[in-house]
Amino acid sequence: MLENPPAWLPGDDRLRRFLGDSALYPFYRLKLTGYVSSLLPPGPCSILDVGAGDGSLGLVFQTFRPGTTVFGIEVALRAATRQGVRMVRFDGRSIPFLDGSFDVSLVSNVLHHASDPAALLREVRRVTRKRIIVKDHLSAGRLDDLKLAALDVLGNLRLGAQVAAVYLTRQRWDELFASLPGVRVSTFEHLPFRRGLLELFFSSSLEVIFALDIDRRGTAPTA
C-alpha cells in the first residue's frame, strides 16, 4: 500500500494548473505525481530525473517539496522543456555523474523505451544513494502489448517523444532487478491511474511502480 500524498503536495486543482497542458490525460499525471511524491524518502533530497521529458514531474518536487533539488537527463531534449528545469542531454547509457551523486533517481515511463534497460538501470543504481523509483508497465502478453503501444502513441507521438517500446512481463522485471546488485524491491500494483471507460479498457494492471532501496551494506556499484 502507498501512503497518502504528502502534505506539501498541492491539491488537484492547483497541481493540474501547474502541470499545464503537458498531459493529454491530466488525471493520470495527477495520480502519478501523487504516487511518486509518497515514495520520496523523508528529509532533504536530491533527485535525478532520468528521461525527464519536459521536466514537469521533477519540477513539481523542486517547487513544492522543501529541501529538494532535481536534475534531469534526457536523450532527446524538448523545445517545450519547462522553465526552471535543470536538464542535460545524455546518450541513454552512460549517466554523466559520479557514483552516488543523488539520493533518489526517478525513472518514469522510460525503461520500456530504452534499448538496453538493464544497462541503464545499472547506471542509475551507480549514481543513486538511497532509492530508485521506477514507474513503468506490466504486460501479460500480446493484447497488453497492443494496448500499451496504443497508449504510447497517444501520449508520446504528439510530443515528438519516442514511441518504440518493449513492455516487460512480471518475470522479466524480476530478472532485471535480480541482476542489480544490492537493492531491495517493493512493488506497487493495481494503483488507479485512469477512471471510467478508460480504466475498463486500459486497466490499472498495466501500470506498476517499483521502489528499489539501495542496501548500503550491499555490493559496491559497478562502474
Nearer to ligand SAM, 33 or 130 (CB): 33
Member of 33, 62, 105, 108 binding ligand SAM (CB under 6 A): 108
Strands 68-74 and 45-50 turn out to be parallel
Taking the complex as a whole, the smallest distance from the CB of residue 187 to ligand SAM amounts, in Å, to 18
The DSSP code sequence of 75-138 is SS--TTPPTT--EEE--SSS-SS-TT-EEEEEEES-GGG-SSHHHHHHHHHHHEEEEEEEEEE-
- When asked if residue 206 is in the footprint of ligand SAM (CB under 6 A), the reply is no
Stretch that binds ligand SAM, among 108-116, 139-147, 187-195, 196-204 (CB under 6 A): 108-116
Member of 65, 113, 126, 137 binding ligand SAM (CB under 6 A): 113
- When asked if residue 114 is in the footprint of ligand SAM (CB under 6 A), the reply is yes
Nearer to ligand SAM, 21 or 216 (CB): 21
Nearer to ligand SAM, 92 or 221 (CB): 92
Which residues is 57 bridged to in the sheet? none
- When asked if residue 53 is in the footprint of ligand SAM (CB under 6 A), the reply is yes
Strands 45-50 and 102-108 turn out to be parallel
Q: How far is CA 70 from CA 59, 111, 183, 216, in A?
A: 7, 19, 22, 22
- Give 43's Cβ-side CA count (13 Å radius): 3
- When asked if residue 92 is in the footprint of ligand SAM (CB under 6 A), the reply is yes
Member of 120, 124, 180, 212 binding ligand SAM (CB under 6 A): 120
Taking the complex as a whole, the smallest distance from the CB of residue 94 to ligand SAM amounts, in Å, to 10
